[in-house]
Amino acid sequence: MNPEIDSFMQAAIAEARQGLQEGGIPIGSVLVKDGKILGRGHNKRVQDNDPVTHAEIDCLRNAGRVGQYQDTILYSTLMPCYLCAGAVVQFGIKKVIAGESATFAGAREFMESHGVEVIDLNLNECKQLMQDFIETNPKLWNEDIGK
C-alpha cells in the first residue's frame, strides 16, 4: 500500500481487493465518523447475484443504523454512481472522498448539487485496479455500470 494514502482510503482499497479475490468487481468503500470506521464494504453484485449491492451500499448496510450522518465521510475507491450518490444524499452524508473518477465519472455533479463536498484523489492505485479488471472482464464491467 502507498503510505501517502490515508488509512481510510487504504481500508477502502483493501475492501476492493477483497471483492476482486472473491470474483467480484474491485470497488471498496468505508464510512468514517470521528476518525473511526463505522462500516466497510465492497461491490458484491457478482457474489450475491444482487445488482444493487454496490460497494457504498454494502458499506452502509454493514455500518447499520448510524442515526445522524452529517458528520460522516464516505470513502470509495471509485466515484459513486447515481444509485450510491442517491444514498449519500438521502442519508445526509456531507463529504465523499473518491479514489478516482477517470474510469467512471459517476454522479459527482448530482452530489455537489445537493450540498455534498466531493473530493477526487485521482489515485493511480485505484485507477490501475479498475483498468486491470476491465481489461480482464469487459463484459462484466459493461453489464450495468460501465456503459
Residues classed as catalytic: 56
* pLDDT of the residue at 93: 98
Q: Which residue range forms the structural domain that includes residue 57?
A: 7-145
**pLDDT digits 0-9 by tens, 8-57:** 999 999 999 999 999 999 999 999 999 999 999 999 999 999 999 999 99
Helix (H, G, I), strand (E, B) or coil at 98: strand
Q: Are 93 and 74 in contact (CB under 8 A)?
A: yes
pLDDT in tens, 101-140: 999 999 999 999 999 999 999 999 999 999 999 999 988 8
* Residue 11 included in any domain: yes
Query: What was the pLDDT predicted at 9?
Result: 98
Does the CA dihedral 29-79-99-34 come out positive or negative? Answer: negative
Question: Is the residue at 20 inside a domain?
Answer: yes
Per-residue model confidence (pLDDT) at position 3: 53
Q: Is residue 88 part of a domain?
A: yes
Query: Is position 43 within any domain?
Result: yes
**What does the pLDDT look like over 93-107, one tens digit per residue?**
999 999 999 999 999
Residue 118 lies in a domain: yes
Q: Into how many domains does the chain fold? A: 1
Q: Report the CATH number that the domain containing residue 97 is assigned in CATH.
A: 3.40.140.10
Tens digit of pLDDT for each residue in 44-93?
Answer: 999 999 999 999 999 999 999 999 999 999 999 999 999 999 999 999 99
1 within domain boundaries: no
- Examine residue 2 and state whether it is found in any structural domain, yes or no: no
* Structure confidence at residue 4 (pLDDT): 58
Is position 65 within any domain?
Answer: yes
Alpha helices in 5-137 (DSSP H): 7-21, 55-63, 82-91, 108-113, 124-136
Nearest to 142 by CA among 108, 115, 112, 103: 103
Biggest alpha carbon–alpha carbon distance for the chain: 40
Task: Give me the sheet containing 36-42, strands edge to edge.
Answer: 36-42, 28-33, 72-76, 95-98, 117-120
Helix count and strand count (H, E) for the chain: 6, 5
Q: Which residues pair with 28 in a beta bridge?
A: 42
pTM over 0.85: yes
How many Cα atoms within 13 Å fall on the side-chain side of residue 116? 32
pLDDT above 90 coverage of the chain, percent: 90
